[in-house]
Every structure is written in structure tokens, then in C-alpha cells.
Amino acid sequence: MYHKILVPVDLSHLDKMPKALNTAIDMAKHYNATLCYVTVTNSTPGAAAHNPDELRAKMKEFAEEQGNAHGIKTDAEVLESVDTAVELDDKLLEAIKDTGADLVIMASHPPGIGDKLHLLRSNGANIVKHSDISVFVVR
């Protein structure tokens, strides 16, 4: 049913997304699908890496480790953005098309006061609205 599953990740926050990562691994095993881990970055140093090239190497290593540990096929993509806060959803939608993904599995941010006051927007909801493929948001 699914052949390529896109999984947005932030290497500096892996501790906050174990349920989403495990769900993606389970689905990949069940459907014998490839997991494509994707992240969006800009050129400034961040918590995960000092530059996009270093992040590419870390993402590749992360994907290979996941593949070897769980017996699944994996890929890794790093997309560059001028402003990740503004362009994140558009970059993820671009990645869906470019990779040929037929499912997205992504972590939800923990609900908080910002949601109740409608100050925060939902990346998952935006991907659902603007994509033709299924999106599984894991809380």
C-alpha cells in the first residue's frame, strides 16, 4: 500500500519524537516501505550541526543507523531554506513531491497555551491541507 514514507525530523529534538519515529519504523516494516527522513535547515549554525553539509552527513548517518538497527530501507534529505520558520511547510510539501512519498508520518508539537490562544499554527494541518497524500500526525 505504501512504498515511500516521509518522516520530518529535527536531529536536535529526537528525544521529543520517539512515538513518531517508532510508528514510522513499524509502518515501514509492515509495508516493506522506504523511510525517507527529511529535515529543513538554513545556513546558520544550529543545535544539530554547524552548517548544511555537516547536517547532511549527520542525517545520512542517522538514516543508516535506523535502517541497520530495524532492518528497513532508509534515505535522508536535507532541504535548505532562507527562513525555516516561514518556509518549513512549503519545503516539506516540496520534499513530498521530489521523493515520491505516498505517506507522511510526523510528530505533533505538545499542545500548550499557544494552541488555546490560536497563536501557533499546525505544520501537520497545513501539510494535510496542501498535500494529496495521507498524513499521520503522532502525538
Q: If you search the block for the grid coordinates 516493506, which residue do you land on? A: 32
- Distance separating alpha carbons of residues 42 and 93, to the nearest angstrom: 17
Fold of 4-138: Rossmann fold (3.40.50)
The pTM score is 0.89
Mean pLDDT calculated for residue range 7-13 = 94
- Dump pLDDT digits (tens) for 69-112: 999 999 999 999 998 888 999 999 999 999 999 999 999 865 55
